[in-house]
A and B are shown apart, each in its own frame.
Chain A
Amino acid sequence: MKRPGFTLLLVCALMLTLVVGGVSAQEATKTVVTGLHMVGGDIPTIDPHAAETSASIEIINQIFIGLTNQDATTANMEMGIAESMDVSEDGKVFTFKLRQDIPWVRYNPETGAVEQVTDEAGNVRYVNAYDSVYGALRGLAPETASPYSYVPLPYIVGAAEFNSGEGSAEDVMFKALDDYTVQITSPDAASFAASIYGLWVLRAVPQWAIEAGGDSWTEVEYINTFGPYALKEWAHDESITLIKNPFWPGTDAIPQAKIDEVVFRFLDPQQQFAEYLAGTMDAIQVPLEEIERVKADATLSQEYIVGNQPCTYYIGFDNTEAPMDNAHLRLALSYAIDRQSLVDNVTRGGQIPAQWFSRPGLASAPTLETHPDLGVKFNLERAQAELAMALEDLGLASVSELPALSLAYNDSSNHGQIMQAIQQMWTENLGITVTLTAMEPSTYFASISEDAPIIYRAGWCQDYSDANNFLYDVLYSKSSQNDAGWNNADYDALVEQARLESDPEIRRDLYAQAEDILVNQGGGIAPIYWYTINFLVKPNVEYPPSVTGNEAYFEWDITG
């Protein structure tokens, strides 16, 4: 009796695999598959007024454009849907003339094409001043509860009152003068206000679609957009596909898209890396643990890009609670951290040791070229001297008499490794032993705002490109973001002055003085490093390197 052998079966199975595996899809359109700034799971929202994470904002930046726009490669402010901006003599009244040729669009799944949206009378709807005002008021309205509404509040008359529920929408000085003119009035002359007016939280949204779709208005069935790309598909938990909007007029700042479709896949860096090696993704973030391997690999090292990200990693101290209310103790801890060694041996992603808080590259922030010696660097003698002064202030004979200190961090990414390294540096350099407290990542920042731990890790990324967003919005004594409780009258005076100053060089100098007080004299926080991003991008993809931490896919192209 003859039976087919087991090996034969395996061989058949293998052959089938190879045959089926050999069939590959034909590329009909220029498509880029990207994972930059994406994470595993779903993205929380693409509603500009609910957006909070970089993944959400990344998608929004391709489909909704602000009055002004931040150029991804230069970080400079340029015009978005406005064609011109006029600022009054006193610097408080901003008048924007909108372009009249930007239609609202939607993707039609039946025809497979992007089409212009028409109103009840059948006329094409163009993005106008009323859409812009509707969007701004929706973003500021208390019932929207936008996580970013706090950013523009100080720069629009009446906004703070409206947002707190005390004032009315009519009193918000964000007005449509006619169909294509928007006028915004700021309580004081802040030179960077125009870039804030372009933020996603104030962008135009389609009132009719929101009324029709309710909470589901961001789904393909309802959504109307107007950027260089339109939403083609949102497969929750998997991917978002954007398709080129042929009706975007193409402006000097924001050209028509060159790539037909951009697919954003929601994958963790490790999965992205495997996909990239398998050739199924074009642009990915490199997982930290693979960076050495990428650098050593002949092919991958050619495709490796280290980009700037306008964020600062830092250690916060509760400036209001003993013993961390002692400036000498804070400075001792800050000076005892060997930041260079940390980025070389622990993070290893090309990060830059931070000497101060406001990330160089932001408008008016000090840079390492203009202020090479500003701020804090690892300095053992200074650290030990500060410690001696701290002990004297506190009336203690030795470090062992210090109360128990703990360092809190959100238990995700590589924060644990970084905290261990810092813990070790403090033990070795100062003899201070801190315990590490790993905390639940999803509620970490909420609990810090509630009550800051005695020492904690944090990071801050720009909302708009200006040093004000770091030094005033985060650490001004009365700021709602001032979790550290940093309070210094000289510092406050400097950042208040810089906020209203219009000369960029004078502003930079004022911020440098403020930084010196913050990190060198007062030790309000200990800056650790300035973020970088590690990407792999396929050689046939033309990628204009971004310095803002946001990608402009309408500038990308595919060659060959």
Chain B
Amino acid sequence: MGKYIIQRVLQAVPLVFIITLLVFILMKISGDPLGYLAQDPRVTERDRLVLRAKYGLDDPLAMQFVYWVFGDKGLERQVDIEKDGEIDFTVVGERNGIIRGDFGESIRFRKPVTEVIGQFLPNTLLLGTTAFVVTIILSLVIGVFAALRQYTLTDNIITAGTFITYSMPVFLLALILVQIFSIQFRRWGLPSLPVSGMYDPRGDQSVDELVRHMILPVASLALINIAGWSRYIRSTMLEVINSDYIRTARAKGISERRVIFLHALKNASLPLVTLIGLNLPFILSGAVITETIFSWPGMGYMYINALDQFDASLVVAFVLMIAVAVVVFQLLTDVVYAWLDPRIRYD
């Protein structure tokens, strides 16, 4: 087991390296970060060279990558403006490198990128985790329920319902929910739900308010996932129920409740671990579309705005963070899976 874990971790290292390299390349091919200064007559050639030296833009590409990852603190770069062999001034590097969490400053927030992420991440985790828990519980309930009543009217209704929500794009579902529960409910004089944000700008920032604001985004996120996941659970559950050992268990006279919940469900939920593990990183990333529609101040919403306004350091940090999270959670999933399922070989 220990050997297996070490092996998987070692496999993940080059993967993270390749991701970092790819992100760096993407950053480089998106253009010269100081290009916009070239047309500004007020920026002198000297200023340009100082900035280029400060960010090491004239270093060899490979070294730029190394400095980006590990930092260039204390590194002295000499600038020769006239190219006459005489050093005009020296610039000292200040970066700590992304490996120490230095992604630079966000141009919009005028704060270090890590601080900005620290501000939005809790909101995303709150929304994402709630939606995730709701999804898991409801898909288990619906999946098992449908499996136990295979081909009955209830099963068919559930099947139809899940197919409808499954095939619906999340933005459409979100807008339909807003139309019904926020706008029409208000029109009909019923208690309505807020359209967007985390709190009512006029009200207090109470937990009540927060819960009210969470209902629609959580519902949009959960409904779509429940549809897919409950189908998945239904089919694995059916497979298990029809297997030999369940028949044996029943034949031994064990109560139906024990058969279903102890024997069948435990085995049927094994594939769920994979599903959960692979989806966990996307709690971090925030649901970009859902957060945007509901103006939920989370990572996804921040990412869209950062893209829109060319906040490159924020975009890079976000992409890298999610990519690494995917690798880490995949690793964890493999490990947990190996631990749960003795049939998986460690070597």
Partner-B contacts on A (CB < 8 A): 1, 6, 9, 17-18, 20-27, 31, 33, 40-42, 44, 142-143, 145, 164-165, 215-216, 219, 235-239, 241, 263, 265, 267, 271, 274-275, 277-280, 442, 450
Interface residues of B in 268-301 (CB under 8 A from A): 293, 295, 297, 301
Interface hub of A6, A24, A25, A450 (most chain B Cβ within 10 A):
A25
Q: Is B202 a contact partner of A25 (Cβ separation < 8 A)?
A: yes
Q: With contacts A267-B295, A277-B186, A279-B186 known, is A41 near B308, CB below 8 A?
A: yes
Q: Residues of A contacting B195 with CB < 8 Å? A: 271, 274-275, 278, 280
Q: Are B202 and A31 in contact (CB-based, < 8 A)?
A: yes
Contact string against A for B residues 203-242, beta-carbon threshold 8 Å, 1 for contact and 0 otherwise: 1101011011001000000000000000000000000000
- Shortest CB distance A286–B (Å): 15
Residues on A with beta carbons closer than 8 Å to the beta carbon of B178: 274, 278
CB distance from B312 to the nearest CB of A (A): 14
Contact A165 B42 (CB under 8 A): yes
Q: Are A33 and B202 in contact (CB under 8 A)?
A: yes
* Cβ–Cβ contact A31 & B201, under 8 A: yes
Name B199's closest neighbour in chain A (CB-CB): A25
Q: Please determine whether A235 and B212 come into contact, CB atoms closer than 8 angstroms.
A: no
Residues of B within 8 A of A215 (CB): 110
Q: How far is the CA of A215 from the CA of B201 in the complex (A)?
A: 27
Given A1-B256, A25-B209, A265-B201, CB of A6 within 8 Å of CB of B192: no
Q: Enumerate B110-159 residues with CB–CB distance to A below 8 Å.
A: 110-111, 141-142, 145, 154
Q: Is the CB of B211 within 8 A of A6?
A: no
Chain A residues positioned under 8 Å from B302 (CB to CB) = 237
Interchain CB contact under 8 A, B183 and A271: no
Q: Is the CB of B110 within 8 A of A237?
A: no
How far does the Cβ of A118 sit from chain B's closest Cβ, in whole Å?
26
Residues of chain A within 8 A (CB-CB) of B202 are 25, 27, 31, 33, 263, 280
- 7 smallest CB-CB distances across A and B, nearest first, come from A25-B203, A21-B191, A263-B201, A278-B182, A22-B191, A41-B305, A215-B110
Given contact pairs A25-B200, A263-B202, A278 touches B192 in the complex (Cβ within 8 A)? yes
Closest CB-CB distance, A45 to chain B, in whole Å? 9
* Residue B97 interfacial (CB < 8 Å): no
Smallest CB separation, B35 vs chain A (Å): 11
Smallest beta-carbon distance A299→chain B, Å: 10
**Are A236 and B108 in contact, with the CB atoms below 8 A?**
yes
Q: Could you tell me if B183 and A278 are in contact, using CB atoms closer than 8 angstroms?
A: yes
- 13 additional contacts, CB 8 Å, given A18-B190, A20-B215? A21-B192, A26-B203, A41-B309, A44-B309, A164-B41, A165-B42, A216-B110, A237-B305, A238-B295, A239-B197, A265-B295, A267-B295, A279-B186
User: Could you tell me the distance between the alpha carbons of A267 and B194 in the complex, rounded to whole angstroms?
Assistant: 14
Tell whether B196 is near chain A: CB-to-CB under 8 Å.
Answer: yes
Q: Which of A25, A26, A277, A450 contacts B183 (CB 8 A)?
A: A277
- Please indicate the chain B residues that have their CB under 8 angstroms from the CB of A278 in the complex: 178, 182-183, 186, 192, 194-195
**Which residue of chain B is the closest to A23 with respect to CB atoms?**
B208
Between A164, A235, A263, the greatest number of chain B beta carbons within 10 A of the residue's beta carbon is seen for: A235
- Contact check, B301 vs A145: say whether CB atoms are below 8 A apart: no
16 contacts between A and B (CB under 8 A): A6-B145, A6-B154, A20-B208, A22-B191, A24-B191, A25-B202, A42-B309, A145-B40, A145-B42, A235-B297, A237-B302, A238-B297, A241-B201, A267-B295, A274-B195, A275-B196
Using a Cβ–Cβ cut-off of 8 Å, how many residues does chain B contribute to the interface with A? 47
The distance in angstroms between the C-alpha atoms of A167 and B183, with both chains bound, is: 60
Minimum C-beta distance from B302 to chain A (A): 6
The residue in chain A whose Cβ has the minimal distance to the Cβ of B302 is: A237
Q: How far is the CB of A420 from chain B (nearest CB, A)?
A: 25
Chain B residue at smallest Cβ distance from A282:
B202
Give min CB distance, A373 to chain B, whole Å. Answer: 43
**What CA separation (Å) do A9 and B42 show in the bound complex?**
67
Contact A280 B212 (CB under 8 A): no
Is A237's CB under 8 angstroms from B301's CB? yes
Decide if B192 touches A274 in the complex (CB within 8 Å).
no
Contacts of A31 in B (CB 8 A): 201-202
Most buried by B among A9, A18, A280, A442: A280
User: Whole-angstrom distance from the CB of B40 to the nearest CB of chain A?
Assistant: 7
B79 to chain A, nearest CB (A): 20
Looking at B141, B195, B201, B295, which has the most chain A CB atoms within 10 Å of its CB?
Answer: B201
> With the chains together, A239 CA to B301 CA distance in Å?
14
| One of B154, B201, B211 near A20 (C-beta < 8 A) | B211
Q: Answer whether residue B315 sits at the interface, using C-beta atoms and an 8 A cutoff.
A: no
In the bound complex, do residue B201 and residue A33 qualify as a contact, i.e. CB atoms below 8 Å apart? yes
Shortest C-beta distance, B250 to chain A (Å), equals 14
Closest to B187 in A: A277
A275 to B186, alpha carbons, bound, how many Å? 11
Distance A31 CA – B204 CA, assembled complex (angstroms)? 12
Residues in A with CB closer than 8 Å to B200 are: 25, 280
Nearest CB of chain A from residue B58's CB, rounded to whole Å: 24
Q: Does B257 contact A (CB under 8 A)?
A: yes
Asked whether B109 is an interface residue with its Cβ less than 8 Å from the other chain, the reply is yes
In this assembly, does B193 line the interface, its C-beta being within 8 Å of a C-beta of chain A?
A: yes
Which residues of the partner chain B approach A24 to less than 8 Å between Cβ atoms? 191, 203
Question: Which residues of A lie under 8 Å from residue B305 when comparing CB positions?
Answer: 40-42, 237
A216 to B109 alpha-carbon distance, docked (Å): 8
**Which residues of B97-112 have CB atoms within 8 Å of chain A's CB atoms?**
108-111
Q: How far does the alpha carbon of A275 sit from the alpha carbon of B202 in the complex, in Å?
A: 13
Q: Which residues of A contact B209 (CB under 8 A)?
A: 25
Q: B197 near A238 (CB under 8 angstroms)?
A: yes
Q: Say whether A6 contacts B142, CB under 8 Å.
A: yes
- Docked complex Cα distance between A241 and B209 (Å): 18
Q: How far apart sit A26 and B203, CA to CA, in the bound complex (Å)? A: 7
CB distance from B301 to the nearest CB of A (A): 6
Closest approach, in angstroms, between the C-beta of A147 and any C-beta of chain B?
11
Report the nearest A residue to B154, measured CB to CB. Answer: A6
Q: Are B196 and A271 in contact (CB under 8 A)?
A: yes
B41 partner residues in chain A, CB cutoff 8 A: 164
Please, how many angstroms separate the alpha-carbon atoms of A149 and B297 in the complex? Answer: 34
Q: CA–CA, A164 to B186, complex, Å?
A: 58
A235 to B111, CA, bound (A): 14
Q: How far is the CA of A267 from the CA of B108 in the complex (A)?
A: 17
Does A239 lie within 8 Å of B196, measured CB to CB? no
